[in-house]
Chains A and B, each alone.
Chain A
Amino acid sequence: MSGSTSPYPWVIAFLVTAFVGFADAVYLTASHYIGALPTCTIIAGCDEVALSAYSTIGPVPVALFGVIFYIIMLVASVVWLDMRTDHIWRYLPLLTVPAFLFSMWLVYLMFFVIDAICVYCLVSALTTTLLMLFSLQMWRMVISAQ
């Protein structure tokens, strides 16, 4: 990556965003497995989204896929920090773009099908969006450096 700008800040931004997403997804997964019945609260609204049929794929909560996704993102950015293996950025969009699209699908479900808002899900949508943008930026830098 011999471009004039350093990719370093982008990687750090990517890492921090992945951490936020990871924390958020762990929270949602934990809430799912702790299994206490969600209630509806004045401030956060209702856990209707977490209660809905869309919160799992088969027996696996969607949030767990999120945890795995964010772990991969974290590991990828640390691999780069460790070994400066630029070529990983070539492949990351293969994960971040579908994750973003899936996230948008969930947001669509939330607003138009389940009709309830889940703040933690919105946070996750935001982090997947940012991760996609950052990874595309890195991808561009790698490609143009060639």
Chain B
Amino acid sequence: MFTNKTDRMNKRFALWGGLVLAMAAVALFMVHLAEKDTKTSEVNHSNADASGGNENAAILEVREDDWMKGNPDADIIVVKYSDFQCPACRFYASMDDRLSKELADDVLFVYRHFPLRNFPHSRLAARFAEAAGRQGEFWSMHDLIYINQTRWTRSDAGAIFRQFAESLDLDMEQLEEDMEDPALIERIESDYQDGQRLGVRAVPTIFINSEKIQSPNSLDAYRDLILSYQ
């Protein structure tokens, strides 16, 4: 009888102890995983020194035809791979907009396309922005597209982009023609290919002076991070 009782207690202990331990282990592991996943962009701080680093550095070098804001001779260069339909990118677009005004003398901000395939309108938005760019209005179009992202993301995006273009007084005929220009489409695609070569797996992915950074989660953190490169 006594042993039966002990056995029963042992079984109880094993059951409940096992449950608590298993839950704690699973919880710790999942929290760790979540932490790791939110830091996926923090890959390799010395990215540029790694093998293939030269190729990466070459891709990240500012080109004459890049879309940029800020001081072209600045020592700090922020290159961002971004997607027009991604909500996180909208958030960074507004931070970049603020910081590019605030730090206009010290920083150069470069925008490159990384349209994800899971968004239906990303590439169309990129083409509109590029075509507006040929008429000197890339950034205005860029701003309109991001600011109104929730408006067009689930509706007739093309019609809304056209309204934006009209509001910027763009030559619509020229715009339509440029949108179909294979060179323009190729440019977006080549940004995307470059991003893949750089190991971009998520948008936005930001490089400061060729170093892939962990995307900061506030304006202050972002500003501090940029200025730490001074």
Contacts and interface: CB of A to CB of B under 8 A. Distances in A.
Interface stretch (B127-135, B140-148, B164-172, B201-209): B201-209
Contact of A22 (B16, B26, B37, B217): B26
A145 interface: no
Contacts of A81: 15
A19 B29 CA distance: 13
B121 to A, nearest CB: 11
Contact of B30 (A23, A36, A37): A23
Interface stretch (A27-35, A54-62, A101-109, A126-134): A27-35
A38 interface: yes
Nearest to A77: B19
A74 B23 contact: yes
A78 B23 CA distance: 12
- The A interface, classified by DSSP as helix, strand, loop or mixed, is helix
A37 B118 contact: no
B211 interface: no
Interface string B75-89: 000000001001111
Interface residues of A, number: 30
B36 to A, nearest CB: 10
- Most B Cβ at <10 Å: residue of A43, A71, A81: A81
A36 B16 CA distance: 35
Nearest to A74: B19
Contacts of A37: 88, 91, 215, 217
B16 A40 contact: no
B33 interface: yes
Contact of A82 (B12, B33, B39): B12
Interface in B103-160: 116-119, 153-154
A26 B23 CA distance: 10
30 contacts: A19-B22, A24-B30, A26-B27, A26-B30, A27-B31, A30-B30, A31-B38, A34-B35, A36-B38, A36-B215, A39-B41, A39-B202, A39-B204, A40-B83, A40-B87, A40-B88, A40-B118, A40-B119, A40-B202, A41-B201, A42-B116, A42-B201, A46-B88, A46-B118, A46-B119, A74-B19, A82-B12, A82-B15, A82-B16, A115-B153
Shortest 9 CB-CB contacts between residues of A and residues of B? A36-B38, A30-B34, A39-B202, A40-B86, A41-B202, A26-B30, A27-B30, A30-B31, A31-B34
